[in-house]
């Protein structure tokens, strides 16, 4: 999960464009297709997937998506901050 640096965004508003992003990293195109299907099923709009090294990355963008995902993690006993 990536969260923007709000101080930097304020100071560098013309150049700093980082936003809220969750990345799912999988090994195969089949897994990628499954992730995309599941994301759509829960109402999220997956971004454009890309290949990084020998893996596939599926990004999902937006603050609302981040908040919903973090909430689901907490409900299932997973610490979204990794503590």
Q: In the prediction, which pLDDT does 44 show?
A: 94
- 3-29 pLDDT, tens digit per residue, is 888 888 778 877 777 888 999 999 999
- 30-57 pLDDT, tens digit per residue, is 999 999 999 999 999 999 999 999 999 9
- Taking residue 46's Cβ as centre, other Cβ atoms within 10 Å add up to 19
- 56-71 pLDDT, tens digit per residue, is 999 999 999 999 989 9
Q: Where are the domains of the chain?
A: 6-75
Task: Report the Cα–Cα distance between both ends of the chain, in Å, rounded.
Answer: 14
Please state whether beta strands 55-61 and 50-52 pair in parallel, antiparallel, or not at all (unpaired): antiparallel
Q: Is residue 44 within 8 Å of residue 60, measured between CB atoms?
A: yes
Q: Is residue 22 within 8 Å of residue 59, measured between CB atoms?
A: yes
Per-residue DSSP letter, 28: S
- The predicted model scores a pTM of 0.81
């Amino acid at each position: 999960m990536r969260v923007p640096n709000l101080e930097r965004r304020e100071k560098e508003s013309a150049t700093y464009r980082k936003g809220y992003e969750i990345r799912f990293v999988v090994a195969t195109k089949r897994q990628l297709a499954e992730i995309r299907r599941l994301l759509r099923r829960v109402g999220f709009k997956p971004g454009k997937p890309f290949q990084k090294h020998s893996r596939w990355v599926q990004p999902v963008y937006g603050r609302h998506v981040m908040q919903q995902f973090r909430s689901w993690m907490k409900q299932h006993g997973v610490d979204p901050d990794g503590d």
